[in-house]
Amino acid sequence: MNYKEYKNLSYPQIGDDILKFWKDNRIFEASVDTREGSPSFTFYEGPPSANGTPGIHHVMARSIKDIFCRYKTLQGFQVKRKGGWDTHGLPVELQVEKELGITKDDIGKTISVEEYNERCRQTVMKFTDQWNDLTEKMGYWVDLENPYVTYENNYIESLWSLLKKLYDKGLLYKGYTIQPYSPAAGTGLSSHELNMPGTYKDVKDTTIVAMFKVKTVESYPVFADVTGLVDLRILAWTTTPWTLPANSALTVGANITYVLVKTFNPYTYEPVEVVLAKDLVGKYFTEKGEDGDFEGYAASDKKLLPWTVLKEFKGKDLEGVEYEQLMPYVQPDKPAFRVIIGDFVTTEDGTGVVHTSPTFGADDFRVAHANGIPAIMVKDENGKEVPIVDRRGRFVKEITDYADRFVKPEYYSAEEQADPEFRATDVLIAIRLKEEGKAFKVEKYEHTYPHCWRTDKPVLYYPLDSWFIKTTAMKDKLVELNKTINWKPESTGTGRFGNWLENLVDWNLSRSRYWGTPLPIWRSEDGEEVCVGAISELKRLLEKANASGKLSSEQAESNKTYLAKLGDGDFDLHRPYVDNIYFVSSQGNVMFREPDLIDVWFDSGAMPYAQWHYPFENHEIFNESYPADFISEGVDQTRGWFFTLHAIAGMLFDSVAFKNVVSTGLVLDKNGNKMSKRLGNAVDPFETLGKYGPDATRWYMITNAEPWDNLKFNIDGIQEVQRKFFGTLLNTYNFFALYANLDGYNFHEATAVPVESRTELDRWILSKLNTLIKEVGEQFDDYNPTKAGRLVQDFVTDQLSNWYIRLNRRRFWNPSSENAGLTEDKKAAYETLQHCLVTVSQLMSPIAPFFAEWLYKSLTDGIREESIKANSHLKYDSVHLTHWPVVEYSDIDLDLEEAMEMAQSISSLVHSIRKKHKLKVRQPLSKVLIPALTEKTSRQIHQVASIILSEVNVKDVDAINDNDGFFHKRAKPNFKVLGKKFGKDMQAVAEKIKLWDNNEIMQLEKDGQYLITDLQPVAAILIDEVEIYTEDVPGWLVASENGLTVALDITVTDELRLEGIARDFVNRVQNLRKDSGFEVTDKIEIALENNNELLASAVIANREYICQEVQAMDLRLVPELIGEINGEIEMDEFLLRINIGVVS
RNA sequence: GGGCUUGUAGCUCAGGUGGUUAGAGCGCUACACUGAUAAUGUAGAGGUCCGUGGUUCGAGUCCACGCAGGCCCA
């Protein structure tokens, strides 16, 4: 037996078996090693963090990665794939804190940094086993034996060298960002500290709508056409009046509608014009006051503010309008005080204009920075720029009126607050602004505001020191380089990523944590800095410092300890060890390490270099594997890994880091909701893989939606894929194996039947196959695995199984081969089918690697040795070691494909006629007539006539070129052509054309054009401007579809009737054979009771046919059956009494 | 609030450059076929192509404005 036959095959079992085969034979390694010397295709693995368990979405993401690596391997590339682990960062630290029941404050107190980091190091690899297990089970081929690990010294050293490069280029600097800061605790707060329960509280604050006086009103086009303006002011609302002395801009929304309102200052009663968002007018003005009594206001009790809208405009019209500084204590060093555009402005409350103080708001900082607006800063005693509020939350001395006052009343002690004379600073500011005519409304307002979880006092948004990478300096380059990257989908590259690059801000690298890559910068108090770029440099600086004699004995001792460890190779570049390293500046001052860690995204973005410990080692490997040809991660990585890879490569290597990138969508549950372990709708990947096997899971995920679309994950879909695709493919293989084994068929390349002498159907399926190879390759080349998979699936189910096999069954059954051996025709059939299946196994192997392997091996294991000897393409043990099939263009016959498509349509139409007239397929009919309007159609129909005949059980098929009016012809306007020609008259012309029948059309065919004379002007229709089709054949039963018409003669002659009965008879006997448990190959003899004349004559007339079909050696008609009767069956109109038995 | 994205049959999805009967698979119903048989074929039911405007002789497709979902920001 050359081909294994399977019953009750389980897909998970295939997975397990193949996995074992791969492991035992190290197929993955071989797939890389056998490509040694070939061009390389580089893939970068985005490192997962192993401190969480993998989910089903990881199966999706990793399938994409795997598919293209496998595809490129088949194409002959060497695809090295180094796995990696992302090991640093906040999630790990938080998990450890949770496990130990501690908070950040305990680190360094109740637990040493050393212990803590050790704990992080262990925790981060906690689920490594699960990850490795998943990787294996889903068939993701990646090198897990030598992964890169971001916490290793070598990895960190590479990062340091990159940071040093940035530093040397002046791209690494210390600046500030606006962060939540607790003056009471004297510390910054991380975002997760701010997310702790109870930090957001409802408080009542004094809020002010301040009035910013516009300068040189008449110089702005937006106001130029409004006459009689006396005092134009822009209204901006703030819940933090203490930030008003730091105001340096006003921000409006570009598309928000604003109005200019004429009214009075409600505190000074002076006439004024104010600008605010149209939607918010109702907040400040009553309906009653609209277009009210301006003249009478002064004399009134001033309770009712009259107002009127003078003009309406968009926010963008206000851009650039300058105003007078509201509280001029400190002057900025650059031009400020103008209106800018920001994307964060809303009209939910306030005035639709945001008071902007770059030192006290993150949005403010960003938008000011983007518009070149300076912050209001003062210089401290060291000449360093500091904000106008100090770190304890008090105004600096330059804010003379409020110097040393706390900006928030909560910062004062309880006693001080209890004093009846006590006024909050905000209140003092409000009073002053009212007096100066700069306040439009002052009120207490209740809102939620974040509080420090330690001190319970309000948090300030405050500028804090941070280290930055000056990505903005390289923005243009990064934008340019991005244009060379092939993004899938394109919109992520141009839109999401492109826009992000366009609005780039500097990369804040600092993290005030413990477990991560330490920033390799040491500073002395006099401001001297050194950035360390290598361990050797660290060593040199250590030695130099110790030799200087400027260190304390403790410092020198600590340095010595580290030096000794460096000598042993037993050192650690993490905290706290590097914190206890001291250098000496040129002035002889001690230099301390800047305490920050760097952003973990830098870790992963540096993997192209650090995974090879570049530039310290592996120059050659690095050079040939940089940049990556392909990467893939979730779309949520756009501003994460995709960006950090791109930024580092662009800034330091003047290169892209990757040439092609597939950004994948999310995996949602079947209802389109996000999966979450908490909600319990998360799918366990191990369970799914265990139940359905890896192939169906992968195939479903890939073919159901394109990778960048979100996938609604539905288990039913996997079952469908399993049944529909894998089940059909399995059946097809089993069919092949069954007969191939019976016939003792085996493939010998040398004696294969030449393609040109194979049957129409063989050549057709081979043509289809080669078209498929071409198209699947194109889709994979385009990084579209979904379309590739769908193409393969359609080929297998629609073409190979439902057409080729179904129509060819007889060739395989043909029982006469027993003595004659394999006929040429039968051999060709096997060769064709086997070739199709082997090719399918290759084409599907990137997506369904296990099943493809199983199929390939089942089809070729039996001929492996011979193939090796013959050095044929089937010599490889694994489908993953083969080479991507080459398209045999000479085998592609599009004309034949077209003809076969017609055969399929014609068959379908005949079936539908039979159906409508209750004529079962077993009843032969005499003729199908097909109007063929072109020579080509007629030829194609003749080419596939025999296929149609056997498929629909008709004796004759005729394609006729009609010119004598046998058909009813109709014409359909070609709108595309005629639309251009007639424009508005199109509809009228179309109506006319639809009314045409044979007369008009014959004239058109004769003259090449037809004039519609009853239209004005006369319309001339050319023959190729309409599509002519036949609608009806008088006297025949007709069906049409897509311009193809089929006419069927349904006259059942006596002869046909008898044949139909004979076929029915065969059918019953076949069933009996099966019921009686006969073997397919058994020969039988039949005795039939002659109880009906019609039945008898049908049997007599078709005796030979019947005998051959049911493999009967003898068919006797007997007057009466005696003894045991093993068949008594009701046929349509007879009672069949029959005896059959096996002939020994 | 901003950027990107999705919206077509009960479900999952196709529908280059606008062209007049909007398709497939699954599911449902009926019938047929029966040596691949837990397979297969045929037919039927099932659509305000998210909405409203606009451009056009003609819009699922192009434009504008909305609505709803998603992701990332804020």
For the CA of A1029 and the C1' of B17, the distance in angstroms is 27
Going A754 to A757 to A760 to A762, the CA torsion angle's sign is negative
Instruction: Please indicate whether residue A260 or residue A370 has the higher confidence score (pLDDT).
Output: A260
pTM for the whole structure? 0.84
> Which residues lie across from A1020 on neighbouring strands?
A1011
Omega of the bond leading into A266 within 30 degrees of 0 (cis) = no
Confidence of residue A197 (pLDDT cuts 50, 70, 90): low
Instruction: Please indicate whether residue A44 or residue A221 has the higher confidence score (pLDDT).
Output: A44
What count of other Cβ atoms lies within 10 Å of the Cβ of residue A417? Answer: 12
* Residue A968 contacts strand B, CB under 7 A: no
A 812-871, residues with C-beta < 7 Å of strand B: 813
CA atoms within 13 A on the CB side of A886: 5
Residue A891 in tokens: 């085998």
**Least confident among A436-445, A522-531, A799-808, A1021-1030:** A1021-1030
Is residue A133 part of the annotated active site? The answer reads: no
Maximum separation of any 2 CA atoms in chain A, in Å: 130
* Residue A420 contacts strand B, CB under 7 A: no
Strands in A658-782 per DSSP E: 658-664, 667-668, 711-712
For the CA of A283 and the C1' of B66, the distance in angstroms is 25
3-state secondary structure of A1092: coil
What count of other Cβ atoms lies within 10 Å of the Cβ of residue A973? Answer: 22
Closest C-alpha to A2, from A812, A731, A748: A748
* Residue A499 contacts strand B, CB under 7 A: yes
Is 70 exceeded by the pLDDT of residue A6?
yes
Q: For residue range A582-634, what is the model confidence (pLDDT) as tens digits?
A: 999 998 899 999 998 998 889 999 999 999 999 999 999 999 998 999 999 88
* Residue A133 contacts strand B, CB under 7 A: no
Is residue A976 part of the annotated active site? The answer reads: no
* Residue A976 contacts strand B, CB under 7 A: yes
Query: Residue A884 contacts by C-beta under 8 Å, 6 or more apart in sequence?
Result: A71, A74, A75, A76, A777, A842
Protein-contacted bases of chain B (C-beta within 7 A):
1-6, 11-14, 19-20, 25-26, 31-43, 56-58, 69-74
* Residue A1108 contacts strand B, CB under 7 A: no
Task: Please state, for a pLDDT cut of 70, what percent of chain A lies above it.
Answer: 96
Is the Cβ–Cβ distance between A159 and A610 less than 8 Å? yes
Strands A232-238 and A82-85: unpaired
Confidence of residue A1 (pLDDT cuts 50, 70, 90): low
pLDDT of residue A797: 87
Query: Residue A568 contacts by C-beta under 8 Å, 6 or more apart in sequence?
Result: none
Q: Which nucleotide is nearest to A976 (CA to C1')?
A: B19
Is 90 exceeded by the pLDDT of residue A196?
no
Closest C-alpha to A232, from A128, A290, A311, A159: A311
Q: For residue range A1081-1097, what is the model confidence (pLDDT) as tens digits?
A: 777 888 888 877 888 88
What count of other Cβ atoms lies within 10 Å of the Cβ of residue A201? Answer: 12
A 197-216, residues with C-beta < 7 Å of strand B: none
Instruction: Please indicate whether residue A637 or residue A236 has the higher confidence score (pLDDT).
Output: A236
pLDDT of residue A90: 82
For the CA of A644 and the C1' of B67, the distance in angstroms is 37
Instruction: Identify the DSSP state of A346.
Output: -
Whole-angstrom Cα distance, residue A1135 to residue A1128?
7
- The amino acid sitting at A474 is M
Is residue A47 part of the annotated active site? The answer reads: yes
Is the Cβ–Cβ distance between A804 and A904 less than 8 Å? no
pLDDT of residue A606: 94
* Residue A917 contacts strand B, CB under 7 A: no
Is residue A677 part of the annotated active site? The answer reads: yes
Whole-angstrom Cα distance, residue A265 to residue A51?
61
Q: For residue range A732-765, what is the model confidence (pLDDT) as tens digits?
A: 898 888 888 878 888 887 788 898 888 888 998 9
- The amino acid sitting at A1072 is L
For the CA of A915 and the C1' of B31, the distance in angstroms is 8
Is residue A869 part of the annotated active site? The answer reads: no
When pLDDT is averaged across residues A397-404 and rounded to a whole number, the result is: 90
Going A339 to A341 to A344 to A348, the CA torsion angle's sign is positive
Catalytic, out of A47, A694, A931, A973:
A47
Q: Which residue matches tokens 């990757």? A: A658
Instruction: Identify the DSSP state of A879.
Output: G
For the CA of A920 and the C1' of B42, the distance in angstroms is 11
What count of other Cβ atoms lies within 10 Å of the Cβ of residue A609? Answer: 24
Query: Residue A605 contacts by C-beta under 8 Å, 6 or more apart in sequence?
Result: A641, A643, A644, A645, A647, A648, A657
pLDDT of residue A350: 80
* Residue A125 contacts strand B, CB under 7 A: no
For the CA of A656 and the C1' of B65, the distance in angstroms is 40
Is 60 exceeded by the pLDDT of residue A815?
no
* Residue A810 contacts strand B, CB under 7 A: no
Q: Helix (H) and strand (E) counts for chain A?
A: 41, 40
For the CA of A866 and the C1' of B66, the distance in angstroms is 69
Is residue A1017 part of the annotated active site? The answer reads: no
Is the Cβ–Cβ distance between A67 and A785 less than 8 Å? yes
Confidence of residue A817 (pLDDT cuts 50, 70, 90): very low
Is 60 exceeded by the pLDDT of residue A819?
no
The average confidence (pLDDT) of chain A is: 86
* Residue A920 contacts strand B, CB under 7 A: yes
Element housing A462 (H / E): strand A460-469
pLDDT of residue A816: 47
Q: For residue range A1101-1115, what is the model confidence (pLDDT) as tens digits?
A: 888 888 877 778 888
For the CA of A591 and the C1' of B28, the distance in angstroms is 79
* Residue A434 contacts strand B, CB under 7 A: no
Catalytic, out of A601, A699, A803, A996:
A601
Is the Cβ–Cβ distance between A1089 and A1137 less than 8 Å? yes
A1124: buried, middle or exposed (CB in 10 Å: 19+, 13-18, 0-12)?
exposed
CA atoms within 13 A on the CB side of A162: 30
Whole-angstrom Cα distance, residue A1036 to residue A438?
94
Is the Cβ–Cβ distance between A1077 and A1119 less than 8 Å? no
For the CA of A1055 and the C1' of B38, the distance in angstroms is 39
CA torsion angle A58 A63 A65 A70 (round to 10): 150
* Residue A24 contacts strand B, CB under 7 A: no
Residue A421 in tokens: 């004379």
Is the Cβ–Cβ distance between A57 and A132 less than 8 Å? no
A98: buried, middle or exposed (CB in 10 Å: 19+, 13-18, 0-12)?
exposed
Q: For residue range A97-153, what is the model confidence (pLDDT) as tens digits?
A: 889 988 777 888 899 999 999 999 998 888 899 999 999 999 999 999 999 999 999
Whole-angstrom Cα distance, residue A1100 to residue A1119?
14
Q: For residue range A694-732, what is the model confidence (pLDDT) as tens digits?
A: 999 999 999 888 888 888 888 888 888 888 899 889 888
> Which residues lie across from A662 on neighbouring strands?
A488, A632
Is residue A520 part of the annotated active site? The answer reads: no
* Residue A1077 contacts strand B, CB under 7 A: no
A 758-787, residues with C-beta < 7 Å of strand B: 786
Catalytic, out of A179, A611, A637, A940:
A637
Confidence of residue A1043 (pLDDT cuts 50, 70, 90): low
Instruction: Identify the DSSP state of A585.
Output: -
pLDDT of residue A70: 96
Q: For residue range A277-295, what is the model confidence (pLDDT) as tens digits?
A: 887 888 888 888 888 888 8
Whole-angstrom Cα distance, residue A513 to residue A712?
38
* ipTM for this prediction: 0.87
Residue A587 in tokens: 């002035």
Whole-angstrom Cα distance, residue A844 to residue A689?
18
For the CA of A710 and the C1' of B67, the distance in angstroms is 21
